[in-house]
Structure 1
Amino acid sequence: MVYNRRRIIKKKLKPCSADFMIDNNKGSSSAVVFGEMICQKLKVSAVEAVCNQTAVDLAGELRCNVPAFNGNRLNLEKHVLKDLAEKEDFNKFMTYIRDPREQVEEFIRKKVKKYMFEENKNKAPQILQKNSDDIQRFIRQTLFEATEKIKTEKGDINMWVKEFSISLRCKLKLTMNTISCQNFRDINNLDFLRVEIEKGLQIISKEMKSLSLTEVMNNRQKPDEILIDQLCNCCWERCPFCAAVCINTIKDHSPDKHSVPFHRPSGVNGWHKRASMELNNDFCTTSVASDKIFYPSPESEKSIPYKLYQTAGGKYASWSIIADGSMLPYWKWFVCRFQKEIEDYYKEKCKGWGEILPEWRKYTKEEALRSLDEMQSVGPPCALLHAQLSALS
């Protein structure tokens, strides 16, 4: 009788145990698949987050450590002009005169690459590795905390996904919309799911060690683009006479007039005496103090006295040119050094009205470069620059 009773009990329990095993295995299989899907999304988001943060950090490093970037707009222009003079490339000069922003952006990009890959080739990888370690640590901590919270609340997989994705949002752009929890409702062991995701994170960690600075430069957010956005988001209006760029740091600063501390000979912008081939090599600051006249456009029939240049309206009215006679030696050197190239470019001559004064030819390139130091600037401290960049991180 005892034997038969045991058989009856065993017979009753066996199907129930089998069902439990099937459900448990099914839940585990679902957790493995679901964990893989989560890790695929985490990998993409983690790489992007690391590259973005590295770009922001490098931009901060550059603004503090590269003299061209750690001052104001005038300071940047000074370094661009120094770079142009050192290279003595006339075509680059003309790009700067005709399209200054293009030349400045090229200057910034080259400076960034040189800093990252030549001057500080060990520093940038260290920043990249630190950010990689930080983001992985953040993901693991968030995974643990989200799992513990939902376990305490006796929640399901839907609650876990919501908690995990919301907690990651402050550092990762992780979209879980494409994952349907409907197919994974049988997952009831969140610890098992966490372990499976941690296994995937180990693989991601190994792959992220091979991240290179090239990937940072190819990312959506790049250190050079961050600097361009910060340093070039300003006024780019050019003087109607000499093409000097307004130094106002605000794009639309109306009703304030455009202005520059140093103008150039207007001949570098192609101004010449009407009905002649004589370039005008007067500086704007000298012209507006003279009794000379100009024609606002090639089609103009009426001349305007330089002293009353603002009465010409339009672009002339929006500028304030101080008649202080200031003449930066840099531009005197430029006109002498590239006289032939300027004449060929504009099909005009430096003679008659545009005759180059003998004393201009005495300036050396070294003296021209030193004269740029008159373009003094005081930049904000590094702490403030990092604070400005923190909004991007």
Structure 2
Amino acid sequence: MQWVAEVSSAVSPQEEVDIDVDIEVVFLDHFKESNVVKQILNLYQNTIFSLDIEKHVSKKIGFRILSKTLNDANLNNMHRITESIIMRVKANIEKKEKDKMDYNQTFIHEILNEVEEGMNSVPNSANYIFNKEYKMDLSLYLCRMAAERFKDMHAAFRKANDPVVYLESKREDFFKCFQISCQGASSITTFADFLCSKIAPPLRHAIYEKTALDIARDVKDKIPDFGGNRSTLEYFMLKYLAEEEKFEKFMYYLNAPGDFLNNYIKTKVETYRLDKNRRLEMSLRDSLFHYYENIRSAIFASNTVVKDRKDRKDKISLWLDEFCRVLRDVQDLSRSDLKGIEHQEITDTEFLNYAMTEALSHVIDDLRKEFEEACMSSFERQPHTIVAEQFAGCQEQCPFCGAVCTNTMPNHDGDHRVVFHRPQFLRGHRWYERRLFKWHKTDNFKIGICSSLVSSDYLFRLGEDRWIPYKKYRDAGHPYSTWSIPPDPSMQAYWKWFVSSFRTQLEHRYNGKFHGKGEIPASWKTVTKQNALAELEKW
């Protein structure tokens, strides 16, 4: 059309955006190393980031940098800094999505800056630094995670704000309005077809949104994992890990607890809804029928309002006002999109009722066909995300073992608590020994869990020369003072089984040994998976 061509010629052509290429360009400029592209190709395959002390951290002594082991307080701080960086980046992306922003290459720089700021938050008094490998690996993980979301943001922004795209999308609307004006008596059918074409997109959105909420409620009622609080869910995740008995899944749970929880919930929800009984299709059809009845009620209400209003010449405008008002709380139908048809001279409201019912039936049939092929990716807001939000709760991790607080409220009052603490070597802790008047970190894993250690006479190291009795761990200050760890001298059978079963892999992954003070007791080797699960049941 001529007016589209005129607008196109007046508007500067938009540059094509390739976010993956942008990431490469920014990384090449930022890191200035010849093998950056190769590293990107290798690391871009990683779906999680796991802090590797040997690879990502170097010890600092004056102006020299040595790769050596670090104390417990340093290890805790490294994990907290890493988790904080990831959380800040995700929060920034969510804010951009909420504000409906367009993608900009500066977003990639912002991610790199967040990583750098986190790295710089290491206290000057600390005896370690994060190195280039850490910056590269964490930045790539975050950019990979962000890329898909940036692509969706850009597509949505362009559709909503590009004048040429907007005019092209309205071409059919303008033609229909012109057609209705020219048709006279037969315009009622065209009017109904046009109005139903405007109803279809928000109706589809409302159906998926309602179904997502219904599924979230349903799985909380039907799946035992989601029937309780965060502690209950923790039990089911530990049970699942034991039953699967796969080392990498344990590492995923330990190193990326938030991502693991979300993925666990997603898998459970999708397995439940996408079964052979076609639960998903039936749920969508139920929501469709619910909104169909709403629309039929709106048609009836609108006809009633204008039926005897002979004093009004703008009956269709009045009809549309009532129609949109009745549907306002159930679907987002824009009254402004109907301006082009509000001046039509339609007086036969009975025939309008019939025409609307006929036109609406075609919309319903199309949606029913779509629902036959629907899958979980069809949802804009995923059901598993709704469930996960209800279990998000507090994200603070035990400063000793890294277990996530099970309180269901973020920023809650009172102390942080967990039901299942873990062996402390899983957070990088090892035993020290004194040689030549100095304390040296050994390769002996600290296999005790927090609740057993706080009932012991052992000490833990805080800084270079400060030692705190585990029994008085709160005296170590924040974050130790914000945690309640009830003393329990027994060791959970679950972790005895885990350590015995994956001894070789754990020694390789955490670069230490189960010997000396970290020797695995012979009794642990007799603990079976069934013993571990049976004890877990009691909790």
- Whether the TM-score (by the shorter chain) exceeds 0.5 is yes
Preserved CA contact (<8 Å) 1:268 1:335 = no
Partner of 1:177, secondary structure, is helix
- Aligned-residue RMSD, C-alpha: 2.2
1:51-106, Cα deviation, whole Å (9 max, x unpaired): 22222222222111111111121111111111111111212212211221211111
Given the alignment, which residue of 358, 364, 367 partners 1:199? 358
Given the alignment, which residue of 313, 334, 343 partners 1:175? 334
Preserved CA contact (<8 Å) 1:157 1:181 = no
Preserved CA contact (<8 Å) 2:231 2:419 = no
- 1:1-393 equivalences under 5 Å are 26-118=183-275, 121-154=277-310, 155=312, 156-181=315-340, 184-212=343-371, 214-215=374-375, 217-232=377-392, 234-254=393-413, 256-274=414-432, 275-296=441-462, 300-375=464-539
Preserved CA contact (<8 Å) 1:78 1:372 = yes
Aligned length: 348
Structure 2 residue identity aligned to 1:188: T
Query: Normalization by structure 2: what TM-score?
Result: 0.61
CA distance in 1, matches of 2:223, 2:361: 37
1:23-52, Cα deviation, whole Å (9 max, x unpaired): 997543543443232111111122122222
Preserved CA contact (<8 Å) 2:401 2:422 = yes
Residue 337 of structure 1 deviates from its aligned partner by 0.8
Partner of 1:193, secondary structure, is helix
CA distance in 2, matches of 1:214, 1:123: 11
Preserved CA contact (<8 Å) 2:444 2:514 = yes
Partner of 2:268, secondary structure, is helix
Preserved CA contact (<8 Å) 2:514 2:520 = yes
CA distance in 2, matches of 1:130, 1:260: 40
Structure 1 residue identity aligned to 2:289: D
CA distance in 1, matches of 2:376, 2:301: 30
Aligned to 2:125: none
Structure 1 residue identity aligned to 2:519: E
CA distance in 2, matches of 1:31, 1:216: 38
> CA 1:363–1:24 in structure 2 vs 1: closer, same or farther (change >3 Å)?
closer
Partner of 2:307, secondary structure, is helix
Gaps of 5+ in 1: 1-22, 376-393
Structure 1 residue identity aligned to 2:425: G
Structure 2 residue identity aligned to 1:328: Q
CA distance in 2, matches of 1:47, 1:62: 22
1:107-131, Cα deviation, whole Å (9 max, x unpaired): 111111111123x633332222222
CA distance in 2, matches of 1:206, 1:143: 19
Which stretch of structure 1 is more off in the superposition, 186-195 or 104-113? 186-195
CA distance in 1, matches of 2:267, 2:260: 11
> CA 1:290–1:162 in structure 2 vs 1: closer, same or farther (change >3 Å)?
same
Residue 191 of structure 1 deviates from its aligned partner by 3.3
Aligned to 2:133: none
Preserved CA contact (<8 Å) 1:217 1:223 = no
Preserved CA contact (<8 Å) 1:28 1:192 = no
Partner of 1:71, secondary structure, is coil
Structure 1 residue identity aligned to 2:388: I
CA distance in 2, matches of 1:183, 1:323: 73
Structure with the higher strand share, 1 or 2:
2
> CA 1:216–1:187 in structure 2 vs 1: closer, same or farther (change >3 Å)?
farther
Partner of 2:274, secondary structure, is helix
1:356-392, Cα deviation, whole Å (9 max, x unpaired): 11111111111111111122xxxxxxxxxxxxxxxxx
Q: Which has the higher contact order (CA 8 A, sep 6+)?
A: 1
Aligned to 1:9: none
Partner of 1:124, secondary structure, is helix
Preserved CA contact (<8 Å) 2:399 2:479 = yes
Preserved CA contact (<8 Å) 2:280 2:375 = no
Which stretch of structure 1 is more off in the superposition, 362-371 or 322-331? 322-331
1:219-278, Cα deviation, whole Å (9 max, x unpaired): 22222111111122x012111111222111111113x11112332221222211232111
CA distance in 2, matches of 1:25, 1:124: 44
Preserved CA contact (<8 Å) 2:281 2:374 = no
Gaps of 5+ in 2: 1-179, 433-440
Preserved CA contact (<8 Å) 1:332 1:360 = yes
